[in-house]
Every structure is written in C-alpha cells, then in structure tokens.
Amino acid sequence: MSKNIESTLVENRIFKPSKEFSKKARIGSMAQYQKMWKESVEKPEKFFAREAAELCWQKKWTKVLDWKCPYAKWFVGGKLNVSENCLDRHLDGPRKTKAAIIWEGEPGEKRVLTYQQLHREVCRFANVLKRNGAKKGTRVIIYMPMVPEAAVAMLACARIGAMHSVIFGGFSAESIKDRALDSGATIIVTADGGYRRGAVVALKKNVDDALKAKDTSVKRVIVFKRTGQDVHIEEGRDVWWHRELEYVDANCPAVALDSETPLFILYTSGSTGKPKGILHTTGGYLLHAYMTCKYVFDLRDEDVYWCTADVGWVTGHSYMVYGPLAMGATSLMYEGAPNWPENDRFWNIIEEYGVSVFYTAPTAIRAFMKWGDQWVKKHDLSSLRLLGTVGEPINPEAWMWYHRVIGGSRCPIVDTWWQTETGGHMITPIPGAIPTKPGTATLPFFGVDAAVVDDNGKELGANQGGKLVIRKPWPSMLRGIWGDKARYKETYWSEFKGYYLAGDGARRDKDGYIWIVGRIDDVLNVAGHRLGTAEVESALVSHPSVAEAAVVGKPDELKGQAVVCFVTVKTGKIANKELAADLKKHVRTVIGPVATPDEIRFTDALPKTRSGKIMRRLLKQVAAGEIIKGDTTTLEDLSVLAKLATAED
C-alpha cells in the first residue's frame, strides 16, 4: 500500500474557496463546517431532526435513531413518501412550472418535464403498476435507457411503496435473470431499445432471453417504446407502456410509508461471484440525498444541474433523481455517449442549457483530456459554477485539467467519496468552506465519523496507510443485503467491532484530509464501474474450454483499471487467439459489456500458495508488466513464479 500512497503526493497546491463563492454558499467558512460537523456526530439526533424537518412527513417520527449494531432505524414511527417529497410538495408554488427534468436524447431529441408534468406522469404510471399487480413491497425491475420514463418508473414505485431494482442497460440477459431470481421481482419495466453511440441497444431482447427458462417469478413486462424497433411481445406477459396509460387516470395518492419501508434494491459487486442486493429504505436515504444536494452541490432554484451517471448506478439514483428532485432542482438527463456524434457533445449540452453544476467521473475526465482542449474551447462554459467527481480516486493531473479547462480556474471541485452501500456522499468538500487539494475527497460529511485504522482497528496517525471505516450509523446507510442477513454482518461489520468496513484503503494527512487509495478487496474499478474479480472468474470457468481462471486489475491510463484474465485451459483444448476472442465474448454474454476483459493470458498453471490460494499479488505484478512481459496469446509459465515465490516466503 505504501507505494500507492507516495504516488499520490505529486500535487501539493491548496485551492481555497473564492470569497465570492463562499459569500453565497449555505456553508461559507471552515468554522461553520466544523461547528456543524461536531454537532452532527456528538448530537446526531438533534442535528438530523432539524434537517429532517425540511422534508414533508405525513406523520412525525417518535425517535430519530434506533441503533443496535449493525441494524439502524432512522426516524422511527415517522411516515412519509419519497415521491411526494420529490414532486407534490413543489406544486403549490412557482416550482410547479419549473423544469424538473431536462432531457436530451442521443440522436438529439429534446424534452422538458415540469414538476407538474412529471407529477402527472408518475401518478399515471403508478396506476399502471397497480393495474399490473404491483403492491406495497412488490419488487419491480427497471431495465431502461436514459429516458425520463426511467425516473418516472422509479418515482411511481416509490409512490405506492413498491421497491425498484434498476439494472444498468450494459448488463446482459443472464445478469437480469440472476437479479430477477434473487429479488423475486414480479414486474420488469423496460423499453424496446435505447441509443448508444449511434447504435441501438436491444433491451427488450435481453429481457426476453432472461425470462426464457421461466424459472423467475416475473409475471409482467411493461415495455416503453423508445426506438420503435421490432420486438417480440409475449401474449399474457408483455404490455406496452403507452397502451396501459389509456386505462388509467392521473389520480394516485402518495401512500404514507413507514420511514424504514424499503425503497430500492441495487445490485453491486463484492468479493464473491454473486452480486449483493444492497437495500435502502425511505426516510434516512431521502434525507441524506437531499442534504448532500443542499450542502455539497449547494443547489439553488436557478441552477441547471447535470449528473452524467446512468440511472442504473447509485449515483443516478441519489444524484440524478432523488436528491435533486427532493430539492426542487432542475436535473438534466442525457441518453447517450460523451463522444457522439463528436467529442464535444457534453460541452455542447452545457453551453446549450446553461448547466451550472456538473457532476461526472474521473474516467470520463481522463478521456476528455486525451481528446484535447480544442473540443472544449469551441464552447462557452461560463455558466458552470461548481464541478463534482465520483467513482474512483481522481489523479491530480485530471483534477487540475478539470479545474483549469472545464472550470475556467473559477469553479470549486467536489471530489465525493461514497458507495452504493452508503447511499450518498460520505467524504467530500463543502465547496464554500473546505479548501481542496487535488486528489483528496477531503473531510467527512455531516454525521459521518470516518477513520483510518490498522489491522487491529486502531486509528492511525498522519499519513499512515490503513483501512477506511465509519464508526457511527448514518441516515442513508444500507439496511442490509437482500435475502442474506449473514453476508451483511460478515462483509461490513465483522472485521472491527462496531465499525462499518468500507473496503477501501486510505490515509489521512496532517490536516485530517482523507486520501482514498482504492479497494483493498477483490473488487475492481473499471471506468468507475464496480466489478468483482470473482464474477469475471466464474463467467470464465463457465466456458467449456476453461479449467481455471484468475482475474486481476492492471493500471490503465483511461479506465483506472483494466481487466486482465489469467486462464488455464482444459486438457485437449487449444489456447489460441480465437479462444481468447471467444472468451471475451463469453464474458460479455454472461455479465455484460461492462465486464469485457482487456486481456486474456493463457498459462500452464496459476501461481498458488502451498495451501492452494491463488497469488493475486503476483499476478497483479505480472499483469502490470512488473515481472514478465508476454503477449495475450502465448502460453506463460507462471508455475515457475509460484515456485519462486513460495520458496521466498
């Protein structure tokens, strides 16, 4: 770990918030941040009760927090509805006609939905869900392109107390099937297709393939017409979104739900082959999404806010849909790729809509850097006032470029560290208060008691690398893993008693700033997407030619990490270029394009310890070219390395 730490120490400038920014910001000084943070961790009940009072409750809570580690209940006895907070409460003032969602389709269509229109669409679709059997607690899978209807479907579930589980459009039929089986979903909401880089993604076809074996509990598929392509409609199972709307009205009261009612399940990768269904509930999740939009993005009524994440990731949930809408903000949504039709699509959108707050990922920033400043210079980006990043550690070079070229050296950058499990920002600058340093997410958000500890759980001193933990419950923490109580306890709460283990390595500098080093478990971060090495391994060994596989990450200039697979083939099978290509295709089919291997390297044997554990550290070095070089198709003799390494220990 120490090596990584040194390599992050390249840029040591400090960027203080400008006086102008601080003056207008909700939190305008370090002293104010510190005072609020102190209260938030010392008297969380008082602090969060005050914040929660800004949401709309159908019944007030009786107790702010009930904590029996590792089980938390927030706002016990309180009743509210997320969709009411995101929609209805904005309708009795000027926000009624304000843009809630500004949408740009990849081919160039444009749509604006005001709060009133979005409310109406959500009510109608909630009635469609009810008509098709959805009730409180029903699991609804949403497998959609980036169209406003994805948000409509999510909010419609929330309105009636159904739980959604959004699946990213880049996942395969098999991934849909696994998630349908695990969640027990009875309804899937999808579209005929979506657009990506000028091509059409066959979403409905993937759903059909997922449901072929008929072993899931899915009874109904609701299909939104996006591309107009031909799709199969299964009689008795599939219905069209637009046809269903003909049967319903726009009257649908938001159900009063207990604060701990499940809101959604979102699958994310862990260190085993099986993704975890992260469970989030109503009151605490909404409060945290709302509060972070208020304090971290400092969202204003006049902002045009754009988060470039897909709805299929937690960032899309908290920062494209729930947080901004709970704030009554205008949220921009774009369907396609950043380089379609040309490399300046994003800058074109920012200029056209006057985007003022922009939130994207380091992997995208590195791609923009590579494409060159000339694409940015063609556009007037002076509407921007605040920039954000999320998904992986941002290298200081990319931070500086983002600051200078996109932000015109004027916009603060919030580098927000958080996870699917945390629901919202955990370590992040407060832009009017906390001076930033390129490459660090800086200080904990309100209520977050973060620490860097050694293997015994002891807090480490300045600049010592260790494990990142959170020592207190926070409102939007995951409430569990769907259907797997033991795994929840085991994964997050068993290494150190009473502490949440994030799975990231970190250090704190002398100013207390937290520098995230990266995952300490077998989870990769490929272009900001979380991917379990075990998932890719199990996809590989499901191929008839593969005997054994070990997957590791390799540093990649653009994607952060690239996926490198070491593979041994079964006796009689031939390891050649064709097989390598076939294995890449196979992984795409099993998991989805997000998991496509960058390299397949065949070997006689995998290096193992005497007890049979694959020596991943060694393989990582091999993959990074630190030990031997080899191309992707020659057979490598890694067993020699294993012998060497075991002899050394």
Minimum distance of ligand 7RM from residue 125's CB (angstroms): 27
Minimum distance of ligand 7RM from residue 504's CB (angstroms): 5
C-alpha distances (whole Å) from 618 to each of 270, 614, 634 are 21, 9, 19
Minimum distance of ligand 7RM from residue 116's CB (angstroms): 31
* 292 touching ligand 7RM, by CB under 6 A: no
Minimum distance of ligand 7RM from residue 633's CB (angstroms): 32
Minimum distance of ligand 7RM from residue 91's CB (angstroms): 31
Nearest to 479 by CA among 70, 138, 75: 70
* 416 touching ligand 7RM, by CB under 6 A: yes
Run of H or E including 58: strand 57-59
Count of residues of this chain found to bind ligand 7RM when the rule CB under 6 A is applied: 22
Distance CA 60, CA 77 (A): 7
Q: Using CB atoms within 10 Å of the CB of residue 475, give its burial: 0 to 12 exposed, 13 to 18 middle, 19+ buried.
A: buried
Residues 407, 411, 415, CA angle at the centre, nearest 5°?
Answer: 95
For ligand 7RM, give the closer residue by CB, 131 or 274. Answer: 274
For ligand 7RM, give the closer residue by CB, 415 or 522. Answer: 415
Minimum distance of ligand 7RM from residue 316's CB (angstroms): 10
* 281 touching ligand 7RM, by CB under 6 A: no
* 639 touching ligand 7RM, by CB under 6 A: no
With contacts defined by CB under 6 A, name the span among 63-71, 380-388, 451-459, 518-526 that binds ligand 7RM.
Answer: 518-526
Minimum distance of ligand 7RM from residue 506's CB (angstroms): 9
CA 558 to chain CA centroid, Å, is 18
* 391 touching ligand 7RM, by CB under 6 A: yes
With contacts defined by CB under 6 A, name the span among 164-172, 500-508, 548-556, 587-595 that binds ligand 7RM.
Answer: 500-508
Q: Looking at 117, 272, 383, 419, which residue binds ligand 7RM (CB under 6 A)?
A: 419
Say which residue the tokens 């980006």 belong to.
381
Nearest to 48 by CA among 344, 310, 265, 290: 290
**CB under 8 Å to 212, separation ≥6 — which residues?**
none
Q: Looking at 384, 390, 567, 580, which residue binds ligand 7RM (CB under 6 A)?
A: 390
For ligand 7RM, give the closer residue by CB, 361 or 580. Answer: 361
With contacts defined by CB under 6 A, name the span among 160-168, 287-295, 342-350, 515-523 that binds ligand 7RM.
Answer: 515-523
With contacts defined by CB under 6 A, name the span among 197-205, 412-420, 602-610, 624-632 that binds ligand 7RM.
Answer: 412-420
Nearest to 141 by CA among 204, 235, 226: 204
Q: Would you say how long the chain is, in residues?
A: 649
For ligand 7RM, give the closer residue by CB, 216 or 363. Answer: 363
* DSSP state, residue 69: T
Determine the straight-line distance between the first and last CA of the chain, rounded to whole angstroms.
19
Nearest to 153 by CA among 125, 128, 188, 179: 125
Q: Looking at 417, 446, 513, 602, which residue binds ligand 7RM (CB under 6 A)?
A: 417
Residues of span 297-326 touching ligand 7RM by CB under 6 A: 314-315
* Cis ω for the linkage preceding 341 (within 30 of 0): yes
Q: Residue 458, Cβ neighbours under 10 Å: how many?
A: 11
Distance CA 167, CA 183 (A): 12
Q: With beta carbons less than 8 A apart as the criterion, state whether 105 and 226 touch.
A: no
Minimum distance of ligand 7RM from residue 78's CB (angstroms): 27
Q: Looking at 292, 436, 525, 561, which residue binds ligand 7RM (CB under 6 A)?
A: 525
C-alpha distances (whole Å) from 293 to each of 116, 150, 166, 306, 332 are 21, 21, 22, 12, 14
Q: With beta carbons less than 8 A apart as the criterion, state whether 34 and 42 touch.
A: no
Minimum distance of ligand 7RM from residue 436's CB (angstroms): 12
Say which residue the tokens 């040309």 belong to.
342
Q: Looking at 504, 522, 535, 537, which residue binds ligand 7RM (CB under 6 A)?
A: 504
Kindly state the tokens that stand for 203.
């979403």
With contacts defined by CB under 6 A, name the span among 36-44, 250-258, 324-332, 418-426 that binds ligand 7RM.
Answer: 418-426
* 272 touching ligand 7RM, by CB under 6 A: no
Residues within the interface to ligand 7RM (CB under 6 A):
268, 314-315, 390-393, 415-420, 441, 502-504, 516, 518-519, 525, 530
